[in-house]
Each structure stands twice: as structure tokens, then as C-alpha cells.
Amino acid sequence: MRKRRPPKRKAPKATLRTLTIEALSPEGEGIAQDIRVPFALAGEVVEAAVSGKRGHVRTIEQQSPQRQDPVCQHFGLPGDGCGGCTLQHLGEAASSDLKQHLLLNAIRKVFPDAQVAAVHQSAAQTRRRAKFAVRPGAAGFHALASRNIVRLAACDVLQADVLAMRQPLEQLAGRLGVSFEAQVTATDAGFDVALFDLGEDQLDLRQRDLLNAFAQDQDVARLTGDGITLSERRKPTLQFAGVPVEVPSGVFLQATQDGEAALIREVLDGLGNAQSVADLFSGLGTFSLPLSKGRSVHAVDVAGPAIAALDRAAKAAGRAVKAVARDLFARPLQGAELKGFDAVVFDPPRAGAGLQAKFLAEAAVPRVVAVSCNPATMARDLKPFAEGYTLERLVMVDQFRWSSHVEAVAVLRRLA
């Protein structure tokens, strides 16, 4: 049965106001006193529709000399375009500076002398996964903080073949007569397409036939609806260090291949000559499999399907990876469980590692490499290491071009 959406809260009535933008928030939004104004820059005067503490730009009356022409025709100015990118008006160099400031502002609360040693930025049109909002007559990304769908004729973030799936999905919604979300992932075997909010158990025979025809016409490797496989022509796979791994539907992946490669290089370099390594929050084995060349790896993650896929792949390739399904939030590794490792890698979800970081610091593992997509929670996870460790290297990996999202790697060495 299709899940019912919660009733919408009535938004406060918007009023038109002239605002002077005083500064930028760490996320790149304009700030006018206590009002946040996306797509506005410091020093600008804008007319905005203000609702609560948010402003929606209508016109720019006085423009900042920092403002750059956006590279994409759908960029969200004056506030009604695509919400996928939020910093194109700031330009490449200033956006990168903003992200480095965001990262350093967080990490220096723990390690005051922290510096960004390197920046790796993914090239345009390299993102291999997208989640489209789809309804009859429209498919694309939502406008910022809106349910309005922007139909994308172009995108400077997505791989061209991923973007090209937008139109067939829009046509599919029209034939089915339903709205849904569609996550498209490029794998080595072709596209893995996952549909959500489809009400799969209520689809009639005609709709099921249409879905099968869509999978065949688009040569989709796998098509799922709310986690249920509707069609599978080939097993979706990705390779990590030359080892093919089956990709479970909906599993976490790094956004770009070159960003993933940069993260792997930094993790491998950060671990040095460590021979016995734990990979916590390991997922499919993004780090476990590259690490397993000449090392023994203990991989742990709560995600059963991902751990199972890693286990099968490692065994088939003869890699020394012990893959264990365990909830590290409910049952973090601690004490004696961590003492035997020369090094530990941990790459938790956006919310951070929780108590696992504390127990890891207390275990005094010689080398620790932290990977995170959230500077604030990364700083919180690094706090237990402030006394007994030195920060050897901090690197920013920018996979989320023209947005404020930041990925980072921190290499920690235990003090003698």
C-alpha cells in the first residue's frame, strides 16, 4: 500500500522586503540580520519574499562584484530554478575557499593548527547517481525548498547518460499515471534504477507490463520498486581494486568515481605500512578491498546486504577480508577488540560515528584515518583524539560541485 504523505503545514504568509545582505553563512547562503537568503551574496541589496526566517530572492537591486554568471541554464536564480546547485553564482575559486573555511572552522576547534594539505575536486558531469522527482509531465530536480520540479535540459553535475534517463522516466510516469522518485545509478553492468513511492503492491497487470517494457527498452540492468525487484537483466556491479562487487539496491556509494579514487589514495597513504587494519562503517568495501592488497582487513558495517556483498566478493577474489555485520552505534568495537589492529579507518554516516570514536581513541590504535561528509560531525568524532594524537594530514575531497557539501580525510598518528 502506498504510504500517505503527512499533511502539509501551512507556510507563513510571505511579505516583500528589501534586504541588505551582510555576510554569507558557512553553507553559502546570504544573511540579512536573522534572515537567510539563498542565492544572495554579501553586499547585495535584494527584494525578497520573506517567510519566517527565510528569504526568496525576487530581484537583485544592487549586485556584488563577486557574482559570477552561472554555468547552468537551470541554476536557481532569482530563486525559482533548480535547487541541486547553490553556489554557481559564487564561482569556482570562491566556492572552494568557502568549503575550505567551513572545514577548517570545524576541525580547528579540535586541532587549532589544522591546515588543508590538498584539495581534490571532481570534474563537471561526473556524478554517477541521481535521484529524480518524477510525475506525469515532469521529471528532474526540485527547486530549492519547494515541491516544484525543474525539467532539466542540461546538467553540469551529472554524467550525460544519467541525465538522459530523465526523459524516459517522465514518459514512464505518464504511461503509469503515477508520481514517484527514481534513483538512477551507473554501474559496470548498466543502470540500476530504483523507484520509490510507487505502491508496487497496488500495480495492476498493465502497469507491471509497462515497467518491464521500460526496463527492456532502456536496457536497465535492474529495476526495483520500493525495494522489490521488478526486472533484473544483469547483476549491477562495481569494481574496487579490480574486485567486482554486486551492488545491492539503494546502497551507499561515493558520488563520483574520481572522488572515490581520491579518497582511496588518501586512505592508503594515510595508513602507511600498517598490516592489520579495521575498516569501520565499511559499506560495500570501498576501502576494504583496496586495503586488502597485502594486508588483512576486518570490515564492519550494520548494512547486511552491503556486508554480504563484500563478503562474497572478497572470498571469490581470495582477499583477506573478514566482513562482519554489526551495528556500531549499538555495539561499538572497544577495548580488546581494537588492540590487535595497527590502524583503523572509519567512514560513518553523515550523523557521525557516535561512541565508536570515543572507544577508538581510548584503544590507542597507532594510526587512524577518519573519512567524513560532514565537517561538524567530523570535528565531534575527532575530539576524543585531541589529547593523544596529532593530525598529520587533512584533505578536502569536493565531489559535490557547486554545493556546500564537503568530504574530508583526516590522518591521525598516536603520540609516543
pLDDT means per 10 residues, the chain with 416 residues, are 54 87 91 95 96 93 94 81 90 92 96 98 96 96 90 95 98 95 97 88 88 97 94 96 94 95 98 96 97 96 94 97 97 94 97 97 97 97 97 97 93 95
CATH superfamily for domain 96-121+245-414:
Vaccinia Virus protein VP39 (3.40.50.150)
Q: Within the chain, which residue ranges are assigned CATH 2.40.50.1070?
A: 129-187+189-235
Q: List, in order, residues 6 or more apart from 387 with CB less than 8 Å away.
A: none
What pTM, to 2 d.p., does this model score? Answer: 0.92
pLDDT at 7: 60
Alpha carbon distances (Å) from 311 to 40, 128, 284, 317: 48, 24, 9, 10
All cell numbers assigned to 248 = 545491492
Given this model, what pLDDT does residue 1 score? 38
Q: Which residues are tagged catalytic?
A: 373
- CATH 2.40.50.140 region(s) of the chain? 17-67
pLDDT at 203: 84
User: pLDDT at position 6, please?
Assistant: 58
**Where, residue-wise, is CATH 3.40.50.150 in the chain?**
96-121+245-414
pLDDT for res 255: 95
List residues bridging with 18 in a β-sheet: 47
Fold of 129-187+189-235: OB fold (Dihydrolipoamide Acetyltransferase, E2P) (2.40.50)
Residues 6+ apart with CB under 8 A from 196: 180, 181, 182, 183, 225, 226
Q: Across the strands, what pairs with 378?
A: none
Q: The domain at 17-67 falls in which architecture?
A: Beta Barrel (2.40)
Determine if the peptide bond prior to 375 is cis (ω within 30°). Answer: no
